[in-house]
Structures are given as C-alpha cells and as structure tokens.
Amino acid sequence: MPMTRSLRMGTPGIKVLMPALSPTMEEGNIVKWLKKEGETVTAGDALCEIETDKAVVTMESSDDGVLAKILVEEGSKNVRLGSLICLLVEEGQDWKQVEIPADGSDPSSLAPPAPVLTSTPAGPSVLFPPKLDREPGKLLVRLSPAARNIVETHGLDPSNITPSGPRGIFTKEDALKLLQEKHKGKPSELKPVVSPALPQPTAVPSASQATAVTSAYPRPAVPLVSTPGQPAAPGTFTEIPASNIRRVIAKRLTESKTTIPHAYAVADCDIDAILRLRKELAKDDIKVSVNDFIIKATAVTLKQMPDVNVTWDGEVCRQLHSIDISIAVATDRGLITPIIKDAAAKGIKEIAASAKALAKKARDGKLLPEEYQGGSFSISNLGMFGVNDFTAVINPPQACILAVGRARAELKIVEDEEGNEKLKQHQLMTVTLSSDGRVVDDGLASKFLETLKANIENPMRLALC
C-alpha cells in the first residue's frame, strides 16, 4: 500500500493512497471503512473495502499508528490510483491536529462524478412542456407573447426573418414587419435564425400532451399530470451508472473481439458415461457435477496437448507450465473468472470443492486478487440455463475459451451384439471452442476438440492422467 509522510507543519501525517489492487485497475470505489477516525491501526489491519475492476478487496495497513483523517468517504466512486484517501499519525501524537496536505482535497484526483438522477416520491408524475417552439424542419424560434399572438392569428412563419430582440427573441416589431411584408405580397428574404445555444428540455411531453397541441407555436400550458398505464414517451430512458467491473468488462470484451482473430469449432459429446459415473459416486456420498468432469477433462486434454495451453502478449506466444482453468461465474456486478490452479493434478472431488468455494466467493465479492488473476484456459457453461450451444469471447491474454451447452436427449442408431440396428437414446452435449488464430490454428483446435471429446466420453481415462 503506497504511503508517504507529509512534511508540512503540525502533527506529521502518513499519507495513505489508493493502491493498485489488480493489474488492470485504474480507479476504485470506497465501499466501506473498517476503521474509524481515532482508532489504533496495526500493520496488517484491514482499513477499508475497495471495489476494483474485478471484485471487492480488503485494503490492509502497512504501518502502525492512529487513523487521523478519512479524506474519501464511504460510497465515493471512481477514485483514481494514487489519490490520497486517508491520513495516519504515529501513536502518541495528537491525531485531531493532523496537518492535511494541500492536495488532500484536490478534486482532480477524482474522476468526474456521474450525473445524479433524482427521483420524485411515489404519485402522479408531472411533465412540463418545453418552452421552445419547434416545427419539423424549422429552426428553433423564441417568441415574445405579443409576437406569438400575431404569428398565430395571421399564420406567419417567424423563421423567415432574423429576430431583433435580445438573445434571439422574436419581438412584436418583428411580427408586425413580417405581417406588413405579407400584405405587400413581397416574399421575405430567407435568413438563418441565429440564436444562442439553449439547454435541452429537462422533460419530454407525454403522448397525450403532444396530441392536444395543435398550434405551431403553442403558449406555455399548465403542467399536465401523466396518466397511469400510459406508455412512456418516445425517447425517454433511465440511466444506470456502470460499476468499475462493468466498465472493465465492456472494455476488455471490445478489445478481444476487435483485436483477436476468433476461430470456432463445435463438437457434440456423448455424456452417458459421465452420468453413470456420477450415479455411482453419489452412492458413496460424493457429489460432483457434469461441469466438474468438463473441467477435469479439459485440464487433462491441455496436459496431453501443451501447445494449446498458451497465451499471447502481443509479441510472443508463451507456453504455460501450469494448467490453470478459469471458470466463468455470473454475479450481480458482472462476469468474473476465478481460477482452479493446477487442475490437471486435482481429482474430480477436489475440483468440485474448489469450484463451489470459488463461485460462492465470487458472488459475495470476496475473491482475492490471486484467485482471479491469470489462468491459461477458460470455460463458460450456460447449460444450467437451458442453452443448447453458444460461442464465447476469448479472455485475453488466453488463447482459448470453451462454451458448454446443456445436456439433451437424442435418438441414435446403434448395433446390438447380434449386429442388428436399433434406436437408442443418448444424452448429448454441445461444446464450442473459441480459439485465437494467431497461436492456435484450425488444425490444432480441431485436434484439441477431438481429444477433449474422447476424454469426456470415456471419463475413466481421466483417472489415468
């Protein structure tokens, strides 16, 4: 945790800065302070919880002292790396007299705050009509009350003359001049209406209000009350602020799809043998899922084909010695991929326990950085949601990701012991491999998928590797 000492007069303070808690972290949110001002802090004590681009991580103190001043309150968002978040003082010193550095309240250290959307109490919502007059294809014109009356009475077009009033207002004199030219039968010279930039209306008229207005230049009306059950006016929306995790996911997915040449290969795997083995293990009170077998089969296949256990850093291809499987877990904050380390060396039961524990920590936002950073191969399983098959986006710098669909029953023609053909029901599962064509070519990807299919359909082979 970055810390420096203040040299200004007064009680000397120890600066505590926003640390980098993940390789891709650029800013963080202060979720909760775990210490209060005036409390003693020992090296290793938890100071606060910080939401990074990956998870909520506990920040620990690297020094002893007393928490003198919290400079970034709970709930603060988009706090940039290196920003001053609190001050410590040494034990025995007057923490209430700590000297706050000049940069302690520097607003430039924080990212611009997101627009705050206020909500009104429950009840009828009031919509105010815009004060600007607009007609399709016409420029915006602001009319004085007297000018509005003349324009509406005589059907004049105020966009045919340049307003002479202050701030571009179309005055009564402008309306009379336009009316005089109309009576003379002389078409006015079309001139662009130049008006200062005006703020956009803060509310959108409802559909019923829009139909009630028939004049091209309506007078300001009494605010209308929206009718319950009416559809929202076109163009209205609710802005949902994006968390750090959501922004990073959007950025990385865009980079992946625009910079990585994705190639896809699909295979249908017969999982009857896995289902039979699961039943046998259940008799001994060993509970494992089909996905646990998929993780183990993938790890074994990577061990058999190390050329696929690679990453690409933009310059060179790196073949990894450890087989670390990233498993995609959906959380309220977004998708995160905790890692089962050295999966090829683990048994099915150990993989099942690790996957369950990591998934719970991911959903609770309690993953440690080392539990989700890295990985050599990713697996995303949507079978539990009834999805037959799909294609997944590669998680760089990894070279591959496996998309797993649901198990489904299909009839297949087989031969019995006597050579007679008959129909038999099988449980099939579709897996789709997305691979980086720069390091895993089509031939290697096809061979990998063929080997993986064989390992899935013969799960007893997994115990031999």
What local confidence, expressed as pLDDT, does residue 118 receive?
A: 41
Report residue 133 CA to chain centroid gap: 39
Q: Is 317 exposed, middle or buried (0-12, 13-18, 19+ CB in 10 A)?
A: middle
* Average of per-residue pLDDT across 431-448: 96
131 pLDDT tier (thresholds 50, 70, 90): very low
Helix (H, G, I), strand (E, B) or coil at 326: strand
| Integer Rg of the chain from CA | 33
Tally the C-alpha atoms within 13 A of residue 178's C-alpha that lie toward its C-beta: 26
Q: Which residues pair with 48 in a beta bridge?
A: 33, 59
DSSP letter string over 145-179? HHHHHHHHHHT--GGGS---SGGGEE-HHHHHHHH
More confident residue, 377 or 313: 377
Task: Give per-residue pLDDT as tens, 10-44.
Answer: 787 888 998 888 777 788 899 999 999 999 998 88
Phi and psi at residue 242, in whole multiples of 5°? -90, 135
Average model confidence (pLDDT) for the chain? 80
More confident residue, 391 or 192: 391
What local confidence, expressed as pLDDT, does residue 103 receive?
A: 64
For 235-270, give one letter per residue: b (16+ CB within 10 A) or e. eeeeeeeebbbebbbeeeeeebeeebeebebeeebb
The DSSP symbol for 253 reads: H
d(CA 249, CA 243): 10
Neighbours of 207 (CB within 10 A): 15
- 15, two tokens: 């600066």
Enumerate helices (H) and strands (E) in the chain, giving the number of each: 8, 23
Q: What is the bridge-based pairing of β-strands 377-381 and 400-415?
A: parallel
Task: Give per-residue pLDDT as tens, 150-197.
Answer: 888 888 888 878 888 776 788 888 888 888 888 776 544 444 444 444
Helix (H, G, I), strand (E, B) or coil at 57: strand
Question: Taking Cα atoms as reference points, which of 408, 400, 399, 462 lies closest to residue 430?
Answer: 408
Q: Which residues pair with 264 in a beta bridge?
A: 434
Q: Cα separations (Å) of 457 from 122, 274, 444? A: 58, 7, 20
What local confidence, expressed as pLDDT, does residue 140 receive?
A: 62
Task: Enumerate long-range contacts of 59-63, CB under 8 Å, 24 or more apart.
Answer: 59/1, 59/19, 59/21, 60/1, 61/1, 61/16, 61/88, 62/1, 62/3, 63/3, 63/14, 63/88
Which range is most confident: 138-152, 191-205, 284-298?
284-298
Helix (H, G, I), strand (E, B) or coil at 399: coil
* Average of per-residue pLDDT across 362-386: 91
- 157, two tokens: 């077009």
Q: Is the pLDDT of residue 286 over 60?
A: yes
Any idea which of 40-44, 232-236, 347-351, 396-400 has the lowest mean pLDDT?
232-236
Q: What residues have CB less than 8 Å from 105, skipping those under 6 apart? A: 71
What local confidence, expressed as pLDDT, does residue 232 receive?
A: 67
DSSP letter string over 90-153? -TTS-GGGBPPPGGGG-GGGBPPPPPPPP-PPSS--EEPPPSSB--TTS--BEE-HHHHHHHHH
For 45-70, give one letter per residue: b (16+ CB within 10 A) or e. bebbbbbbbbbbbbbbbebebbbbbb
Question: Taking Cα atoms as reference points, which of 49, 41, 34, 33 lies closest to residue 13?
Answer: 41
What local confidence, expressed as pLDDT, does residue 367 receive?
A: 87
- 295, two tokens: 């993780």
Task: Enumerate long-range contacts of 39-44, CB under 8 Å, 24 or more apart.
Answer: 39/66, 39/67, 40/65, 40/66, 40/91, 41/65, 41/66, 41/67, 41/88
d(CA 390, CA 377): 17
What local confidence, expressed as pLDDT, does residue 116 receive?
A: 41
pTM higher than 0.85, yes or no? no
- 72, two tokens: 């970034």
